Amino acid sequence: MTAFDPQSFAAVLALLGVVLLVASLLSGVIERSGVPQVGVFLAIGAVIGPFGLRLLNVDLDSSALRVVATLSLALVLFTEALTLNFKEVRQHGGLALLILGPGTALVTAVIAFAGVGLLGLPVAQATMLGAALASTDPVLLRSLLRWRGLPADTRLALRLESGLNDVVLLPVIFIAIALALPTDGEPVAIGQMLLQLFLLGPGAGVAVGLLAVSTLSLIRNRVGVRRDYESLYSIGVCFVAFGAAEAMHASGFLAAFAAGATIAALDVEMCDCFLEYGETTAELTMLFTFVLLGTSLIWSGFGVVSLPVIAFVLIALAARPLALLGSLSRTHMDGRSKRLLAWFGPRGLSTLLLILLPVFENVPESERMFQVCTLVMLVSVVLHGGSVMALERRRPQTEVELKVATGTHSGTTITIPELAQRREKGQSAILLDARTARTYDPDGLTAEGAIRIDPENVVEEVREKDLPKGALIAAFCT
């Protein structure tokens, strides 16, 4: 066992800190240019890796990669569940089944057959590969969902897919891993595995979610909870659910999803910053994972390039459009919405996180599967990321100039009585409803006299509503 080296650990931590600073400073430029964030993170990894400055090199056996990838996948699943709108899922159940059927299950099967026929993989390994490559990347999808020109039907379908896609694929991968691992002649305990997978894991997540919601509600009503710590609370819920399930030899990942889904289903009164903090933390771990993979591992796929592999990559990228276009033919969606929905199935970190699960379990052929996945992901970043860039450039420009106010209440909180006093004195004061669509849409109710602004499209909506300059704006998100 390698001894712990404080200096090496400090160097890696400092390096990741520099990466985080650079990524944060460039975020505005990246946002305006439409360049995929995934591509930027990979470029940073390449610069600091063995092909660049040689500051960091990570292999598949790295304990750091295992820890960061595990945290990242758990947080991604938890935040995906938190953002689920169960009212939407119930109202559009047919569309959700269509997306998770042809869009996920059929695509998994097509890619798995290609893995057997073109790559010579065993059925179990090919199934893992198909499931990993059927997963769509939440980062690229998030950028796409912010595009105002996206048809409502397409936005709804992609939002449902981003929330439900991975949790459908995870059990497929776990079952395939169990079937692929050597058993020394003993039969695989399928019944026990299914019990742990579909009952103990989600059950632990639901129990932790219920306890977390009731405890938070009790403490908030009696003594109050600081808003910033309420945001931190979400991360604690995710980690406790994961740990509780793993202690029972069940899936911590499914438990994390179940905990998030429990909170979302109960519609607990919590600020949208709760969700935003969880998403930010998940993106932070995803950034670190991309940087670690981008040093050298992400480029290892070029070492296995061959005609069968190229054919497999093309099939993996074409499977979703072909499967969905045929299945969407009987829906009410117009042609443009169908084409956008079928095309945008970007592969990114979620694909790599899923295929790392068999790698960490030392499944035979898992390293080659990972290398093939990196090739598909890199091509997808270019194709789908380039498509998002093209759409971003079509976004209408605005001449509105937003300036940071310097008044007494700038950047601070203001109470309702203070707001009422300002209005009584004739001072301009605007009450802004800045809740996300998930919080606002269920009932459409808002405070009396409040102006509704979608936080995803602030500049455009401020211009449309022609808000007065110099006025105090008091925004609320809960």
- The burial of 425, by beta-carbon neighbours within 10 Å (0-12 exposed, 13-18 middle, 19 or more buried), is given as exposed
The one-letter code for the residue type at 275 is L
The one-letter code for the residue type at 349 is L
Query: How many separate helices (H) and strands (E) can be counted in the chain?
Result: 22, 3
User: Which residue's entry shows tokens 């305006």?
Assistant: 32
- The burial of 316, by beta-carbon neighbours within 10 Å (0-12 exposed, 13-18 middle, 19 or more buried), is given as buried
User: Which residue's entry shows tokens 């908030």?
Assistant: 220
* pLDDT reading at 131 higher than 50: yes
Spacing of C-alpha 450 from chain mean position: 31
Q: How far, in Å, CA of 107 to CA of 243, rounded? A: 32
- The burial of 297, by beta-carbon neighbours within 10 Å (0-12 exposed, 13-18 middle, 19 or more buried), is given as buried
Which region among 65-69, 85-89, 101-105, 415-419 has the lowest average model confidence (pLDDT)? 415-419
Q: How far, in Å, CA of 365 to CA of 125, rounded? A: 7
Q: How far, in Å, CA of 473 to CA of 402, rounded? A: 13
Q: How far, in Å, CA of 443 to CA of 306, rounded? A: 55
**pLDDT tens for residues 341-394?**
888 888 888 899 999 999 999 999 999 999 999 999 999 888 887 777 776 665
Stretch 171-198: mean pLDDT, rounded? 80
431 phi/psi in degrees, rounded to 5: -95, 120
Structure token pair of residue 157: 């379908």
Q: Mean pLDDT over all residues of the chain?
A: 79
Contact 314, 114 (CB under 8 A): no
The one-letter code for the residue type at 460 is E
pLDDT cut 70: percent of the chain above it: 75
Label each residue of 66-131 as H, E or C: HHHHHHHHHHHHHHHHHCCCHHHHHHCHHHHHHHHHHHHHHHHHHHHHHHHHHHCCCHHHHHHHHH
- pLDDT score for 394: 58
* pLDDT reading at 247 higher than 60: yes
* pLDDT reading at 49 higher than 90: no
Contact 248, 258 (CB under 8 A): no
Q: How far, in Å, CA of 141 to CA of 103, rounded? A: 15
Distances in whole angstroms, Cα of residue 2 to Cα of each of 5, 116, 211 = 9, 38, 40
> Which of the four pLDDT bands, split at 50, 70 and 90, describes residue 2?
very low
First to last CA, the chain: 50
**pLDDT tens for residues 251-292?**
999 999 999 999 888 866 655 656 666 667 777 777 778 778
**pLDDT tens for residues 135-166?**
988 777 777 777 767 787 888 888 888 778 88
- pLDDT score for 455: 66
Structure token pair of residue 366: 């898992």
